[in-house]
Structure 1
Amino acid sequence: MDVGALAEATPDSRNRVVDFLRALAILVVAFGHWTAAAVVVRDGSLVPDQILNLATWTHPLTWVIQVMPVFFMVGGYANALSWRSARRRGEGYAAWLRSRLRRLGTPVIPLLIVWLAIASIAYAAGVPGGTLRTASQVALVPTWFLAAYVMVVALAPAALALWERLGWWAVAGFLLLGGLVDLVSIRTGSDLSGFPNYVIVFGAVHMIGFAWLDGRLHGIRIRLLLAAIGAVGTVLLVWLGPYPVSMVGLDNATFNNSFPTRVTLGFLGLLQGGLLLALEPVLERWLRRPKPWRFTILVNARIMTLYLWHLTAMVLVIGVSLALGGFGLHSEPLSGAWWATRPLWWAVLAAVTIGCIAVFGRFESPAKDERPAPPAWLAVLACVAMCAGLGVMAMFGIVDRDGVNWWWPLVPIAGLTLTGMIPLGRGRTGSSSSLGAGRAG
C-alpha cells in the first residue's frame, strides 16, 4: 500500500475530517480499553478488573473516551454519501447492503475462526472453561458494537428518507423514543427490553452525520448549540435521572449507560459531535498537511482490523505473561509503579496489534463484486445472521461450563458466506487504490 500515492490522489472535494474522526474514534477506543484494564497477578493467580471499578474519579473521563457516538455520527455521513452515490448509479438496496456487509463482515471471519481454534485447543488441553469464557468475552467485545453498527447501516436508507422528510424532528423523535424504551427497561428491570436502543439511540446520532453532510450544521453557532443541547441533556439525565456518571459499563453495576445503550449516549453524541464539528475548519486546514493526512489514511486503511484485534492482542499478552509467572503484571493497579509501566504496556500491546494487522489486514480490502445483485431478503437474512451471532458471542463468549459452543461463531460466518454476501474461493483482497483516500466510508 503506497500511502504517499493515496495522499497525493486525494480529491479536493473529499471531507478529510470524516476520515480523521473515524480514525481518532477507533484509536481512542483501543487506547481506552488498554488503559482501563487493571489486571494483576497475585499469588500466581490472575485477578482481572478495570480502573473504572477501582477509582470513581475516572468516571467523568468516560464522557471523553466513550467515543462510539462519534463513530456512528461519522458513519452517518459516510453511509448517506454511499447510498446516494449508489442510487445515482442505479444500484439497488440489496447490492448496496451486500457491499457494506462485505466491507464490515469480511475482517470478522478470521477473528472468529482464530478464536474458535484457540478455545477448542485450550479447552481440550485442560484450560478451565471459565477462564476461556472470560478471555473470549473480552476479546470479542468489539463485535458487540459492530453488530449494532451493521443494524444501523442496514436501516440507513430508510433513516435517510426519514431525515430528508422530517429533518431535525426525526432526530428528536428517535431520542424521545429512546427515552421511552429506557423508561420501560428501567421500570421492568429488563435489560433485554432496552436492546432496541442500540438501533434507536445510535440511529439518532447516525442522523447527525446526515445533517453534517447536508449542510444543516453549517456555521460554528449551530454546532455549539448542538453541543449545548447535548451537554444540558446529558447532565440533566445524570443529575435528575437514574443514569450513572460513567458512560462506559461498570462490572457488576445494576445499571449502565452502555449495556444496553441508553438515551444518555444519544445526548453525549450531540455534545461530542457539536464540539468536534466546531473544530472542523481547524482540522481541515491541519489535514491538508502531508504527515497528518498520511497517518489518517494509514489508520483508515486497516481500521477494522485494528478495532477487531486490539483486545485479542491484550488477551494474548496477558496469556503469555501468565505462562511466564505473571511477568509484568505484579504491580497493583493505580499504584505509582503501575502508572510508570503504562507506556511500556501500551507499546507492547500496540506492537502485538500491529502484528495482527500485518497478518489479517488483507481481509479488509475485498475485491470489487461484479456479480448481479442478490434478492433483498437474502441480504437482510445475512445481516440478521451476522448481528445475531456477533451479539451472542459478545455477551457470552464462545465457551461455557459445558465446553466450546462452536456453532456461535459459525452463525455469522454461515450467514455471510452461504448467502453469497462473501463469496468463497474468489479474490478476497482488492488493490490499495480502494483504501484510504478513495473510500466513501
Structure 2
Amino acid sequence: MRRRLGQLARETPAERERYLDLLRALAIAAVVIGHWLIIVIDHDRSGRLTGRSALVELSAARPGTWLFQVMPIFFLVGGYANAASLSSHRRRGGRAVDWLLDRCARLLRPTTALIVVLAGAALGAQLVGADAEQVRPVVWFATIPLWFLAAYLAVVALTPVTYALHRRFGLAVPVALLALVVGGDLARLVGPESYASGNFLFGWLAVHQFGYAWRDSRTGTGRSGGGLLRTQLPMAPTVGVGLLFGGFAALLALTLAGPYPVSMVNIPGERLHNMSPPSLALLANATWQLGVILLLRGPAERWLHRPRPWLVVIAANAVVLTIFLWHITAAVLLVGALDALDALPTPAVGSGAWWLWRLPWLVTLTVVLAVLVAVFSPIETGAGRRSRFLPLGPIRSLRPTGRPLHRLRRGRSGAGPPARLVGRPERTVPRAVLTGVGIAAVVAALLDNSLTSKDSPEPVGLPTAALVSYLTGAAVLRWLRSRPDRREAPPAPTDT
C-alpha cells in the first residue's frame, strides 16, 4: 500500500488542485474530532447506557461549532470534483448515466459494508438474548453519518442538471438557491420546521454550485465576467477578505441578534435548527470559511507540492469515507468494551474530570478507529481487485496523448486502444430511469433510518423497510454498472 501511495504521489499531474484533497482530509478530521469531543455517555435509571450531546449543557462551547461544522466544505469540494469528473467523462464520449453509476459505486461500496455489518451484528445480538429496544439505539448512533450520504447522493444525482444550469446561468444559480433557503427559513419562522424541508436540498446545492465555479476559475474555462452570469469564482485575496468578514458579520447578526441558534449542529429542544435542514445562518458560516479557504490557497498549494505532505494527504483521502462511516461505531465499540469491564468513566459534563477524560478518550478512539479502517478500507480502496477509480480521483502518468498509461493498450495491428462498447440508443432511457429509481431507493432508505426514532424496536437495528429499500437500490445500481452493453469511457487522468 505504501509503495502504491508513493507511486501515486510521484505521478500526480502538476495541474491538479491538491488543495481540495487537503480540504477534504481536514474536513473529515474536524467532523470526527468534533463528534468525539461532544459525545456524552451515561447510564439511565435502569442502568442502560445512554448517549447525548454535551452542547445541551455546555452552552458556552456552542460557538465552537462555527469551526467544526465543515459539512459545507464537503459539498464545495464535491462540486469541483463532480464538475471535473463529469466534464472529462463526456469529453471521452461517456454518458452522464454511466458517470453517475460509477460515482455512486464509490460511495455505496463502503456504505453497504457498514450497513450489512451493523444489521448482522444487531441480528446476532438478539439471537443471544438482547432486546430490540436495546439494539436499535446502538445501531442508530452508529449510523448517524448516513444522513450526510443521503444528502450527498441526492446532490450527485442532480449534478448533470445543476452543472448544465451552471454553464448557462453561472453564479445566478446559487443566488437563486440562497433565495429559496431564505424562503424556507421565513416559512418555518411562522410555522413548523417541516416548512423548510426543501432547504435540505437547496442549501447543499448552493454550496455545491460554488465548487463548479471554483473549477472554472482553476481551469480558465467558462465566463469570468458578466455579473451573476459569470461561471468563474473570483479568487483574488480581496474577495477572500470580503467573504471572511462579510460572512462572519452576517453570522453574528443572524445568531446573536437574529432568530437563529448559535450552534451550527442541532440541539434538542431548540425552536430552530441550523443544520437539519441547512439555514441561512449555516450558509453564512460557510461563507466566512470559504473566505479563509481562498486566502490560504496559495501557501497551501506550495506546501502540498512537497513530497511528504502530499503523501500524507493522499493516504488520508484513500480511506476518507471509511473513516467517516466508522468513526461513531468506534465510539460505540469502545464504550461497550469499557462498560463491560466496569471501567467506563462518567464524570459530570463540564467538570474538570470530564475535560481531563477528553484526551485519553480521543487517543483510545483513534486506536479503535485505526483498527476498523485497517479492516474495512480495502472495500473503499479496491485492494485485492482491479479498481478503475481511486477515492480521491485518479492520479495517472500521462503520455502526450493525454491518455492514462495503463489504458494505452494496442492490439496486434497497433491501431489503437480497443473500441468502446456502445449501448443501443433505445436502452438509454430505461437505463437512466432505473438508475434514478435505484438512487431514490437508497436515499429514501438512509433518510428513513435517520428519521426513525432510536427507541423504535427494529429486528435488525435498522427499519426493515429501509434495509430492504437500501439493499434493493444498491443491487439495482450495481447490476446496471456491470451490464456489458454500457458505453465504456476510461477514467480521466486529472479527475478530483
After TM superposition, the score normalised by the length of structure 2 is 0.81
Contact 2:147 2:450 in 1 (8 A): yes
Whole-angstrom distance in 2 between the partners of 1:140 and 1:402: 14
133-142 vs 260-269, which moves further: 260-269
Q: Equivalent of 1:267, from 250, 275, 284?
A: 284
Whole-angstrom distance in 2 between the partners of 1:164 and 1:362: 37
- SS in structure 2 at match of 1:179: helix
Contact 2:101 2:477 in 1 (8 A): no
Whole-angstrom distance in 2 between the partners of 1:425 and 1:378: 13
Whole-angstrom distance in 2 between the partners of 1:157 and 1:80: 9
Instruction: Give the structure 2 partner of residue 163 of structure 1.
Output: 166
Contact 2:435 2:480 in 1 (8 A): no
Contact 1:379 1:421 in 2 (8 A): no
What is the CA-CA distance between 1:422 and the residue it aligns to? 7.2
Instruction: Give the structure 2 partner of residue 246 of structure 1.
Output: 263
- SS in structure 2 at match of 1:334: coil
Whole-angstrom distance in 2 between the partners of 1:422 and 1:315: 35
Whole-angstrom distance in 1 between the partners of 2:151 and 2:479: 19
User: Aligned ranges for residues 11-160 of structure 1 at < 5 Å?
Assistant: 11-41=13-43, 44-160=47-163
Q: 1:47 to 1:365 in 2, by over 3 A?
A: closer
Deviations 1:361-385 (A, max 9, x none): 1111353399867611111111111
- SS in structure 2 at match of 1:245: coil
Higher relative contact order, chain-length normalized (CA < 8 Å, sep 6+): 1
Contact 2:142 2:326 in 1 (8 A): yes
Deviations 1:27-50 (A, max 9, x none): 110111111102135885434222
- The one-letter code of the counterpart of 1:88 is R
Whole-angstrom distance in 2 between the partners of 1:362 and 1:425: 24
Whole-angstrom distance in 2 between the partners of 1:205 and 1:425: 34
Instruction: Give the structure 1 partner of residue 395 of structure 2.
Output: none
User: Aligned ranges for residues 217-228 of structure 1 at < 5 Å?
Assistant: 217-228=234-245
Contact 2:235 2:294 in 1 (8 A): no
- SS in structure 1 at match of 2:362: helix
Whole-angstrom distance in 2 between the partners of 1:109 and 1:189: 34
Whole-angstrom distance in 2 between the partners of 1:397 and 1:11: 47
Instruction: Give the structure 1 partner of residue 360 of structure 2.
Output: 344
Identity of counterpart residues, as a percentage?
34
1:406 aligns with 2:464: yes
Instruction: Give the structure 2 partner of residue 177 of structure 1.
Output: 180
389-398 vs 134-143, which moves further: 389-398
Whole-angstrom distance in 2 between the partners of 1:164 and 1:55: 45
Q: 1:421 to 1:144 in 2, by over 3 A?
A: farther
Contact 1:136 1:397 in 2 (8 A): no
Whole-angstrom distance in 1 between the partners of 2:455 and 2:115: 13
- The one-letter code of the counterpart of 1:91 is G
- SS in structure 1 at match of 2:40: coil
Q: 1:83 to 1:306 in 2, by over 3 A?
A: same
User: Aligned ranges for residues 311-350 of structure 1 at < 5 Å?
Assistant: 311-325=328-342, 327-350=343-366
Whole-angstrom distance in 1 between the partners of 2:126 and 2:186: 42
- SS in structure 1 at match of 2:31: helix
What is the CA-CA distance between 1:398 and the residue it aligns to? 7.8
Structure 2: runs of 5+ lacking an equivalent: 218-232, 390-419, 485-490
Contact 1:385 1:415 in 2 (8 A): yes
What is the CA-CA distance between 1:141 and the residue it aligns to? 1.1
Whole-angstrom distance in 1 between the partners of 2:283 and 2:107: 23
Whole-angstrom distance in 2 between the partners of 1:305 and 1:402: 25
Whole-angstrom distance in 1 between the partners of 2:184 and 2:448: 21
RMSD across aligned C-alpha pairs, in angstroms?
Answer: 2.5
- SS in structure 2 at match of 1:400: coil
After TM superposition, the score normalised by the length of structure 1 is 0.91
Whole-angstrom distance in 2 between the partners of 1:41 and 1:256: 27
- SS in structure 2 at match of 1:206: helix
- The one-letter code of the counterpart of 1:17 is Y
Q: Which has the larger radius of gyration?
A: 2
Instruction: Give the structure 2 partner of residue 365 of structure 1.
Output: 381
Structure 1: runs of 5+ lacking an equivalent: 427-433
- SS in structure 2 at match of 1:390: helix
